[in-house]
């Protein structure tokens, strides 16, 4: 039989450190949105404005200073479409909600065929993410359009049977190392209401 001797001082220190770690973690969760807002302001993007689609019960946020214009299509598959841009920062893109009858994988393959991106661009990369507890793919690449080089970030989010395509394009001369994290933070604002 072994005898276990516990040093009360060391045990007390361990409990205090564990308590502080839990406290700091909880504070971090509470401050997450405030920290993101500060990051947008420091990146010269300002505060965020909420956009929503009542039909799909879906919302997302974009920087207030970005110009946004909702458009409609005659086709049946694209149910929601909103263009956005910031000419000064060399950013443009769009948000689409698709009523695509196939699977999420079929939707991704169909988008690759439509855009033809995998053959016409450099540094084509596909990553798996999780946004709003939904399976998400991020496709990044670099390309040229009308003589301008750009970086592309295309998020494909499976949101309860509707497929959200959230795309950002930024001119090469405006690109910086913090841009991917800013675009990801904006894409993470997609929520089911």
pLDDT in tens, 85-97: 988 888 999 998 8
User: Per-residue pLDDT for 57 more than 70?
Assistant: yes
pTM of the model: 0.73
Q: Say what the pLDDT of residue 170 is.
A: 92
Band of residue 30 on the pLDDT scale cut at 50, 70, 90: low
Q: Residue range 57-78: average pLDDT?
A: 84
Q: What is the dihedral sign for C-alpha 145, 143, 157, 64?
A: negative
Q: Residue range 67-79: average pLDDT?
A: 80
- Whole-angstrom distance, CA of residue 176 vs CA of residue 143: 16
User: Per-residue pLDDT for 136 more than 80?
Assistant: yes
Q: Where are the beta strands (DSSP E) in 8-145?
A: 48-53, 58-63, 67-71, 78-86, 91-98, 122-131, 134-145
Q: Residue range 161-189: average pLDDT?
A: 86
The mean-pLDDT minimum among 19-23, 92-96, 132-136 falls in: 132-136
Band of residue 105 on the pLDDT scale cut at 50, 70, 90: confident
Average pLDDT, the chain: 79
Q: In what helix (H) or strand (E) does residue 154 lie, and over which residues does it extend?
A: strand 148-159
Q: Residue range 27-50: average pLDDT?
A: 64
- Whole-angstrom distance, CA of residue 54 vs CA of residue 62: 17
């Amino acid at each position: 039989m072994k005898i276990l001797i516990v040093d009360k001082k060391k045990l007390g220190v361990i409990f205090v450190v564990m308590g502080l770690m839990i406290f700091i973690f909880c504070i971090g969760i509470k401050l997450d949105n405030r920290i993101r807002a500060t990051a947008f302001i420091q990146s010269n993007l300002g505060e965020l404005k909420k956009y929503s689609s009542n039909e799909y019960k879906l919302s997302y946020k974009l920087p207030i200073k970005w110009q946004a214009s909702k458009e409609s299509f005659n086709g049946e598959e694209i149910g929601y479409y909103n263009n956005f841009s910031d000419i000064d920062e060399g950013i443009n893109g769009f948000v689409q909600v698709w009523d695509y009858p196939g699977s999420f994988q079929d939707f991704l393959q169909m988008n690759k065929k439509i855009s033809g991106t995998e053959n016409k661009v450099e540094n084509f990369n596909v990553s798996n993410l999780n946004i709003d507890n939904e399976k998400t793919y991020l496709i990044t690449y670099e390309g040229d359009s009308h003589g301008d080089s750009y970086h592309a970030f295309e998020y494909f989010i499976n949101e309860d049977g509707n497929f959200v395509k959230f795309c950002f394009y930024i001119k090469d001369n405006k690109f910086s190392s913090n841009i991917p994290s800013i675009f990801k933070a904006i894409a993470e604002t997609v929520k089911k209401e």
